[in-house]
Chains A and B, each alone.
Chain A
Amino acid sequence: RKEVEQDPGPFNVPEGATVAFNCTYSNSASQSFFWYRQDCRKEPKLLMSVYSSGNEDGRFTAQLNRASQYISLLIRDSKLSDSATYLCVVNPGTGGFKTIFGAGTRLFVKA
């Protein structure tokens, strides 16, 4: 089983739609979680951290469910510029900072 698993998609949605991605992780001791965004042929960049109580940044909401070991990202009012690959990222936290990336979920937002 992969340490971090995501649905690869692609998700094709119209502008203005709400879309949600889930991610599961295998190490129950994992301590910190993030969503990164990667545009085509570019390096990944931090989108947002994921906190235990859930957190929101504008149109983006991240949730963590430790009991079920999954993380979610909700994008409201999708924009064309949201088209990208979204990477779920987990720091296992077992005495170090080895950071594991999921394979990513591709999102296409269409006019």
Chain B
Amino acid sequence: GAGVSQSPSNKVTEKGKDVELRCDPISGHTALYWYRQSLGQGLEFLIYFQGNSAPDKSGLPSDRFSAERTGGSVSTLTIQRTQQEDSAVYLCASSLVRGGSGANVLTFGAGSRLTVL
């Protein structure tokens, strides 16, 4: 597609349930990122994938959070046993990593708004 696509756009769930959020990056982009943005706050880095390298999971807040990227394209962020503090907008971004200069521009999807009751 022309841009980064995320689904669902809105998800309301009950505390303790598992949720899956999907991201379809721009075709050909090798890097994919997940961020979390709570109301009125900045973007919190969660995880990023780059090609076939091991993902950088350093931002995942707990072991309830996991993500995978299948076939170097679509990614799924899974939150198990959701808690109210997980309520936020989850933003996915992709980029075409350019060599060693690090000129790495991210294009974001519209986000998935998660509300945990």
Which residues from chain A sit less than 8 Å from chain B, CB to CB? 31-32, 34, 42-46, 49, 87, 89, 91, 93, 96-104
Contact = CB atoms under 8 A, between A and B. Distances in A.
Nearest to A45: B108
Secondary structure class of chain A's binding surface, majority of residues: loop
A104 B101 CA distance: 25
B91 A97 contact: no
Interface in B10-44: 31, 33, 35, 41-43
Contacts, number: 58
Given A32-B102, A49-B105, A97 B43 contact: no
A96 B101 CA distance: 11
Given A99-B33, A99-B106, A101-B35, A32 B42 contact: no
Contacts of A87: 42-43
B104 interface: yes
Contacts of B33: 99
16 contacts: A32-B102, A42-B110, A49-B105, A91-B102, A91-B104, A96-B53, A96-B56, A97-B31, A97-B97, A97-B102, A97-B104, A98-B58, A101-B42, A102-B42, A103-B42, A104-B42
